[in-house]
Structure 1
């Protein structure tokens, strides 16, 4: 859903806007990649699960078995999925349906989406019979998690302003256009992918990376005769690939929540990342070939 995002306003849409194209351009190849990539990941996880079920000693987190059994496998502590929880889950899903419709059909952007999620959160709190204090505390905790993202977006935008007003962007584009003149479209697409893998390590925010880099990178596609959506696809694949392991993102937070060490996670995920690198290169070549 990150690597092959189709309508994510914080990656696909903001990157397409920065490139000066409609975010539906390149939609076909991304949704095809989403289906294939999801199948690859599901099969990879099932394969690992079957291996551990047959031989628990092969589990990478065997030392955490007692903790996992106590926290996640005690049926007595699992709350029932009541009608109230089902209603909240339905409302949560419908919020994203409304958001996608608003962005695609009504021209919504951050202001409207902020209002939508605020109203949705209030309704969710009411449905869960939370007190006003509980709703406010949960809202503040969620807002706190987004401070880092907001700061990255601000810094990225400030860098872009300096590059534009100092005519640095023009100089970079002129120089880099010379580099890609005569380059094979396939080589260009693959090069963009690896550039975004590197950039994704240093700038983990998808929206921050798009704002910083797309205005510079997208016009380079013009120099090799490719539509700009190829750069958007390379950006999605590159930052999505790095998102699996970059410690500056959500990986360490989630691993702490499930009591899994980072080194154990790397042993699990690195083979899958190798598969997804080959997958990304193949789909970029397919996109170039079908243009």
Structure 2
């Protein structure tokens, strides 16, 4: 498979060619810029050329009169990378999970739900994925030592993180990018996604624990029983002593959790959920009116619940500095860690701009409205539940072709969000459907480096993994469809 960059670039070329074929058109919009249904009309053709194809990626970053640029999102992604780089420099995350594993030694069955919840929280808050590769050499010998197998160890981290991605709540790379594309708050639909998170995480934990119990009673039921002796030679000697968390690492973990808690509190539209929930607005007004201190804090400080990308970008910059101070990092260590973390996510930040180039070509070619019109006509008799389920199914192959969640969101939300509007489905639920499909396909797609890396470390053939997870995939698919269908009509 070519990279997501190549796939997105070829999509831009294809859409530029289509701008010569598809009739150009426009919709009337209201004062807020929202499309007004049934107002489509054709306009003069605006075919896109070679210059336009390459310029689309530049405009995708900085924006123009027709398309908002991705610079705000890309900067946030880079800052998140810097924050994670500083936290990882302290070793707090890795040692934190290792300490949990060590603490529950001898009670590993009870460790399964605890760790899966921890990994699910990582997946739902910041799209944890590649980071899990560091834990398999630790989890495999622990799980094998209590009578389980390498599949259980892989499932704890892989299934845990990906069901978190499936029901991502505030993941900046999925929820954040998709919400920015639709110009809604990442906090919209948060309660719905939290309910889905609880459901799919519980089901996945029960599935893994059932398999673990079965092979504990009868080891021959393990799907990798034939290689048990080889696995013991490979992994059992690797069960090294785990160092306890230092006081500094504990403090960093608390700060790490606090950063995401503040972000969630800042993004949740409290007054929209309940007009009486005005505590944060009142508190902010009180702070602004304080003599001297109000000016010192800043008169532009927005209330929690009204934050967007600028505010949460600043939050993670400030939290990075606080972690530096708590961890007693030197200025050079902090800069190296922050810049290194930004470098890790540079490709993600750029891919958002490349994906936004698709929207640029469609908008400048004036074919976006025509495609939406076709959707409006084709979906005219479709119920809300049918639309959202079809959206979920549509995103499954799309997630396979474009594994980058941020790239996929930036590339498609400009079309799928307005289509949902025509069917009276909220943009936040369209985002939930896209995330559910992305997390679902990540559990089995061979294009995922996370999955194939885990299989390589555990010496498990991917076909064996597919056989083990097949029933869970069916269950998660059905649950997702039913949940989305119900949520669409509530």
Q: TM-score category by the smaller chain? A: 0.7 to 0.9
Contact preservation (8 Å) 1:234, 1:284: yes
Contact 2:175 2:186 in 1 (8 A): yes
* Pairing partner for 2:263 from 91, 94, 99: 99
**Over the residues paired in the alignment, what is the CA RMSD in angstroms?**
2.9
Is 2:429 aligned against 1:230?
yes
8 Å contact kept, 1:156–1:211: yes
Which of the two has greater helix per residue?
1
Q: Pairwise mapping of residues 135-214 of structure 1 onto structure 2 (< 5 A)?
A: 135=334, 138-214=337-413
Shift of 1:6: 2.5
Alpha-carbon displacement from aligned partner over 1:214-260 (angstroms, at most 9, x marks no partner): 11011112333333333222112112212223344451475178544
Structure 1 residues 89 and 253 mapped into 2: Cα distance closer, same or farther (>3 Å)?
farther
Contact 1:29–1:283 (CA under 8 A) maintained in structure 2: no
Structure 2 SS opposite 1:219: helix
Q: Which runs of 5+ in 1 are unaligned?
A: none
Which has the higher mean CA deviation after the structures are superposed, 211-220 or 148-157? 148-157
Does structure 1 residue 266 correspond to structure 2 residue 469? no
> Is the alpha carbon distance of 1:129 and 1:25 closer, same or farther for their aligned partners in structure 2, counting shifts above 3 Å?
closer
* Range with greater deviation from structure 2 (280-289 or 129-138): 129-138
- 2:478 is equivalent to residue 278 of structure 1: yes
Q: How does 1:232-251 map to 2 (within 5 A)?
A: 232-251=431-450
Pair 1:216–1:270, CA change in 2 (3 A): same
Please tell me whether residue 36 in structure 1 is matched to residue 199 in structure 2. Answer: yes
2:242 equivalent to 1:68: no
Aligned to 1:287: 487
Q: How many residues align?
A: 287
CA deviations over 1:199-219 (Å, ceiling 9, x no partner): 111222222222211110111
Q: Distance in 2 between matches of 1:142 and 1:65?
A: 35
Once the two structures are superposed, residues 128-167 of structure 1 have per-residue CA deviations (whole angstroms, 9 ceiling, x without a partner) of: 5566665555445433431332232121011111111111
Partners of 1:110 and 1:225 lie apart in 2 by 27
| Partners of 2:168 and 2:193 within 8 A in 1 | yes
Of structures 1 and 2, the larger Rg is shown by 2
Contact 1:153–1:205 (Cα < 8 Å) also in 2:
no
Report the counterpart of residue 48 of structure 1 in structure 2: 211
CA contact (8 A) 1:6 1:12 kept: yes
Residue ranges of structure 2 left out of the alignment (5+ in a row): 1-163, 269-303
TM-score (ref. length: structure 2):
0.52
Instruction: Give the TM-score of the pair, scaled to structure 1.
Output: 0.83
Q: Is the 8 A contact 1:157 1:211 kept in 2?
A: yes
1:272/1:207 CA distance change after superposition, 3 Å: same
Contact 1:252–1:262 (CA<8 Å) still a contact in 2?
no
1:12 partnered with 2:175: yes
| Stretch deviating more after TM superposition (51-60 or 203-212) | 51-60
Task: Give distance in 1, aligned partners of 2:441 and 2:384.
Answer: 23
Secondary structure of 2:165 counterpart = coil
Q: Which moved more, 1:153-162 or 1:136-145?
A: 136-145
Report the equivalent of 1:81. 245
